[in-house]
């Protein structure tokens, strides 16, 4: 029996869909996330892609796992927070969607938590039960694990809002409504506005770019552009402040840093590590800052772990009911 999990990682820019068995991604597809579209319609597209992937092999799917970029109630399989890309997300009955289309159960989790689980089971977090994960990219996504337990909290936000720590009381209004969140100072969605309004922008080579990105900033900095060097230092410091706050809150053994921007990990990791030594309460270097290993499929693998756990729970429940008859 070729038992597999169907995992979906709904990122801010792309959506990854994978067929996974025993921690191996057997096949996958990537689609553009789109903007301001209906989640109901996007799920139709995702469902068609899943059917196409399943048709390529003699698979027996165990369940669906969906990682979503927002606050979710994992127990109820319900999306809680409003999300600009999918305004109808809170109204979606995901359990009904999976049951009607494939007669399968579904598990739902926040995308950062899913990535943390993926790294914990199959990547940089193996063998460590006290972890913090940070994803640098569209925002500053975070998740935390203590004593092998994923933190969720009463209101489902535990560990998830590292990007919304206030670090500038005179800062810009964040897309969450707060003032001076970390993401307003350094994130993919805010960096263009931030850089264009800085003194010295017109003298920088960065101004030639149609769209300002972290790739532009790292590249210009490497060529000696003084303005880009200043911006990069600011970004590195902002990310470091965020990580230090997470270290103080959760006291992890290891901090895993992921995201597409980690192609520049040789610059990012040493800076964050040094800032922790200088400015945190932990001075002995006992917090290990490492790059994520599952750069492409951490979220997919994390959802596969939850699907596998669901299978174990269902089997246990069935055996318990049988033994009690």
pLDDT of residue 236: 97
Cα–Cα distance measured from residue 237 to residue 230, given in angstroms and rounded to the nearest whole number: 11
- Looking at residues 292-300, what average pLDDT do you find? 95
Strand partners, 3: 60
Distances in Å between the alpha carbon of 91 and those of 38, 70, 83, 133, 181? 11, 14, 12, 29, 28
Cα–Cα distance measured from residue 247 to residue 144, given in angstroms and rounded to the nearest whole number: 10
Q: E strand or H helix at 20, and its extent? A: strand 14-21
DSSP line for 49-104: HHHHHHTTTT-EEEEEEEEESS-EETTTTEE-S--TT-TTGGG--HHHHHHHHHS-
User: Is there a contact between 244 and 280 (Cβ–Cβ < 8 Å)?
Assistant: yes
Q: E strand or H helix at 204, and its extent? A: none
Q: What is the number of alpha carbons within 13 Å of residue 57 lying toward its C-beta?
A: 15
Q: CATH class for domain 124-291?
A: alpha beta
pLDDT tens string 120-132: 999 999 999 999 9
Per-residue pLDDT band for 319 (boundaries 50, 70, 90) equals very low
pTM: predicted TM-score of the whole model, two decimal places: 0.91
- In CATH, what is the architecture of 3-110? 2-Layer Sandwich (3.30)
Residue 324 has pLDDT above 50, yes or no: no
Query: Where does the chain hold its CATH 3.30.420.40 domain(s)?
Result: 3-110, 124-291
Instruction: Say which range, 108-117, 125-134, 234-243, 276-285, has the weakest mean pLDDT.
Output: 276-285
pLDDT of residue 214: 94
Strand partners, 290: 256
pLDDT of residue 314: 56
Instruction: Say which range, 28-32, 82-86, 149-153, 301-305, has the weakest mean pLDDT.
Output: 82-86
User: Which tops the pLDDT comparison, 319 or 139?
Assistant: 139
pLDDT of residue 73: 97
pLDDT tens string 26-66: 999 999 987 667 899 999 999 999 999 999 998 999 999 99
Average pLDDT over the chain, rounded to whole?
Answer: 92
Cα–Cα distance measured from residue 194 to residue 180, given in angstroms and rounded to the nearest whole number: 12
Helices 265-279/226-250 angle, 10° precision = 50
pLDDT of residue 311: 72
pLDDT of residue 222: 95
């Amino acid at each position: 029996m070729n038992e597999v999990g169907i995992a979906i990682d709904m990122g801010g820019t792309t959506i990854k869909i994978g067929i996974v068995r025993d921690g191996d991604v057997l096949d996958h597809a990537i689609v553009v996330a789109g903007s301001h579209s209906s989640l109901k319609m996007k799920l139709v597209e995702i469902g068609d892609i899943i059917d196409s992937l399943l048709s390529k092999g003699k698979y027996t799917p165990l369940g669906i796992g969906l990682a979503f970029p927002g606050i979710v109630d994992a127990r109820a399989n319900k999306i809680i927070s409003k999300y600009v890309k999918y305004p109808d997300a809170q109204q979606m009955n995901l359990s009904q969607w999976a049951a009607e289309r494939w007669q399968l159960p579904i598990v739902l989790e926040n995308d950062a938590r899913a990535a943390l689980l993926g790294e914990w089971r199959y990547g940089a977090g193996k063998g460590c039960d006290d972890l913090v994960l940070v994803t640098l990219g569209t925002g500053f996504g975070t998740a935390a694990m203590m004593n092998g337990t994923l933190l969720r909290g009463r209101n489902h936000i535990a560990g998830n809002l590292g990007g919304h720590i206030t670090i500038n009381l005179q800062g810009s209004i964040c897309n969450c409504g707060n003032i001076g969140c970390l993401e307003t100072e350094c994130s993919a969605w805010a960096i263009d506005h931030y850089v264009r309004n800085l003194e010295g922008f017109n003298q920088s080579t960065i101004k030639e770019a149609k769209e300002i990105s972290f790739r532009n900033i790292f590249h210009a900095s490497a060529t000696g552009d003084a303005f880009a060097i200043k911006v990069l230092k600011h970004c590195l410091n902002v990310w470091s402040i965020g990580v230090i706050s997470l270290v103080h809150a959760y006291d992890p053994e290891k901090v895993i840093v992921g995201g597409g921007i980690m192609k520049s990990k040789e610059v990012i990791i040493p800076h964050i590590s040094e800032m922790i030594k200088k400015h945190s309460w932990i001075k002995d270097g006992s917090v290990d800052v490492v790059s994520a290993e599952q750069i492409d499929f951490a979220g997919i693998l994390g959802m596969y772990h939850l699907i596998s756990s669901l299978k174990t729970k269902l089997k246990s429940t069935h055996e318990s009911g049988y033994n009690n008859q």
